[in-house]
Amino acid sequence: MKKLLMLLFAGLSFISCEQMLKDRGGDAEVEPEKKVVLGNDKDAKGCVTSAGYRWSLLKKECIRVFEDGYRLNPLNELKETGNSLSAFIIFNDDKSVAELFLPDGSKSYLLSKKEDGIYKSDEWELEVNKDYTLSKNGVAAYAGALIEEHRVTGDDNEQS
């Protein structure tokens, strides 16, 4: 029985070696699969909206506001109405104009600096003195996210 198993094992070894050493030069080449292009839904300005790009009036290019802007989270009143998405603000180089991007994505608003730390448009007002607070027609709608810092102590080694 042992001899039969040894012969069977040796035969299988030769077959597998033959497959590994076989010349495959005559095989037809396999064409690579065509790439599927995701995010080819461009808006009127050429920004790929499904990839998070929006047209910036200040920068004159497509940007990702969640990468380039300051996040403003909705206040409690907006959360109760089901709006839990953030707005974003970007500034021009000299910080004389701010651009507001709302979560609905329809358009952006330019806010001009009126006073120290106050930016305004017809219906929107952004205060950047202490915290970022965005108001619509005098009612606070969005605010900058609060940062909670915690002191981390100890080390990574478990102690028993």
Residues 151, 157, 159, 160: is their CA dihedral positive or negative? Answer: positive
Residue 148 zone, left/alpha/beta (φ > 0; ψ -120 to 50; rest): beta
pLDDT tens, residue by residue, 123-133: 999 998 878 89
pLDDT tens, residue by residue, 64-120: 999 999 999 988 765 555 567 889 999 999 999 999 999 887 789 999 999 888 999
pTM: 0.63
Three-class HEC string of the chain: CHHHHHHHHHHHHHHHHHHHHCCCCCCCCCCCCCCCCCCCCECCCCCEHHHCEEEECCCCEEEEHHHHCEEEEECHHHHHCCCCCCEEEEECCCCCEEEEECCCCCCEEEEEEEECCEEECCCEEEECCCCCEEEECCEEEEEECCCCCCCCCCCCCCCC
Question: Domain boundaries in the chain?
Answer: 69-144
